[in-house]
């Protein structure tokens, strides 16, 4: 995920946008897809400088305006089991890239740093009211395949129907204690607010639709519709003059872009599964969650339109963490409640 704004402006924009949002969202605060010359120039003037204005050497999302609070709801302290629904048309290579990312949470490489597991360590700092931390164990517990059963245009409600159908036909089980359901849509599938306002979102299912209250997320492959918004920085908007897209570590702009959104949603599902646990602000209809605060930050010094310091592999692809099977991924950082700024496993200090 990538939103390049200084944090106070980003927070204000998030609150204004989310006041009308029915679910917690991995959003994008961008100009319109065809901005006027004045809008584009104004955007670049505000966001092209890589440093904050306070003189602080540490930026990375730090701000005295952010008050991450615990609202006494549950977090996922037992083993986290992810149930994937592959909606649409997916190649075996694309599925393997995403599966390996999810398996890297608990099974990271022993001799290569930084790792996906190290990134998840920041998420684990969040606790419930008993002091128990979010679980270290994350696993793919089940998968279902749905070949456009609800067509190629989905809504937030029809996503819940997709989950319901996968449970009803026996492809997935009901897992209300640590289970997370993730609907991943292929590049052909349009989603309500996709590209215009969101790249992914999470919420919980309604018993009236699914029969159970289950935390879930939706993330879309933006390769065909809006890679410059939802697969940034592997594609860039035309108005970001002078910004070249980065080379994706798994050679797939759409899927590599999804990886960071998947990480974003998993972090927030684990720390705020029922939208009553960890978020900034007092309005659960507009929560600013632990990944929202760090969109666009992938390394030390990140902030504004500067993503921070990241690594390059031998082919020139950018990444900031290692996974299983020699995989590399580029994933946004997470708000650290202990130090009140964004942190990640590739931090320089």
Average pLDDT over residues 95-115: 92
Query: pLDDT tens for residues 251-300?
Result: 999 999 999 999 999 999 999 999 999 999 888 888 999 999 999 999 99
**pLDDT at site 30:** 41
Would you say residue 224 lies in a domain? yes
Pair of tokens at residue 332: 């946004």
Better-predicted residue by pLDDT, 313 or 49: 313
> Span 45-54, mean pLDDT?
38
pLDDT value of position 54: 33
pLDDT value, residue 63? 61
Question: Can you give the residue range of the structural domain that contains 321?
Answer: 7-343
Q: Residue 41: what pLDDT? A: 46
pLDDT recorded at residue 31: 41
Domain total for the chain?
1
* Of 302, 297, 305, 294, residue with least CA distance to 241: 305
Residue 349 lies in a domain: no
In a domain, 43, yes or no: yes
Asked if residue 1 is part of any domain, the answer here is: no
List the one residue out of 68, 70, 214, 67 whose CA is nearest residue 132. 70
Does residue 348 form part of some domain?
no
């Amino acid at each position: 995920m990538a939103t390049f704004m200084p944090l106070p402006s980003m927070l204000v924009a998030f609150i204004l946008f989310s006041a009308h949002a029915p679910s917690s969202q991995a959003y994008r605060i961008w100009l319109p897809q065809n901005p006027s010359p004045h809008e584009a120039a104004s955007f670049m003037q505000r966001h092209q400088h890589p440093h904050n204005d306070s003189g602080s050497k540490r930026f990375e999302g730090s701000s005295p305006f952010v008050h991450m609070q615990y609202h006494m709801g549950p977090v996922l302290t037992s083993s986290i089991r992810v149930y994937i629904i592959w909606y649409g048309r997916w190649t075996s290579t694309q599925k393997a890239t995403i599966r390996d990312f999810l398996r890297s949470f608990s099974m990271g490489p022993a001799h290569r740093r930084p790792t996906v597991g190290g990134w998840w360590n920041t998420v684990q700092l969040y606790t419930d009211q008993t002091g128990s931390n979010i679980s270290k164990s994350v696993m793919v517990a089940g998968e279902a395949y749905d070949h456009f059963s609800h067509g190629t245009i989905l809504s937030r409600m029809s996503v819940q129907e997709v989950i319901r159908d996968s449970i009803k036909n026996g492809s997935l089980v009901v897992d209300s204690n640590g289970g997370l359901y993730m609907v991943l849509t292929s590049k052909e599938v349009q989603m309500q607010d996709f590209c215009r306002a969101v790249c992914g979102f999470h919420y919980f299912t309604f018993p009236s639709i699914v029969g159970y209250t289950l935390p879930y997320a939706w993330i879309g492959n933006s390769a065909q519709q809006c890679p410059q918004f939802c697969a940034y920085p592997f594609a860039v908007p035309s108005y970001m003059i002078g910004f070249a897209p980065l080379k994706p570590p798994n050679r797939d702009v759409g899927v590599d872009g999804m990886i960071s959104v998947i990480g974003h949603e998993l972090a927030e599902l684990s720390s705020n599964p029922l939208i009553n646990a960890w978020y900034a602000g007092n309005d659960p209809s507009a929560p600013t969650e632990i990944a929202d605060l760090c969109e666009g930050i992938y390394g030390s010094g990140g902030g504004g339109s500067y993503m921070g310091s990241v690594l390059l592999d031998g082919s020139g692809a950018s990444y900031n963490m290692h996974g299983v099977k020699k995989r590399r991924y580029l994933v946004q950082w997470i708000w650290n409640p202990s130090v009140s700024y964004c942190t990640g496993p590739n931090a320089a200090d």
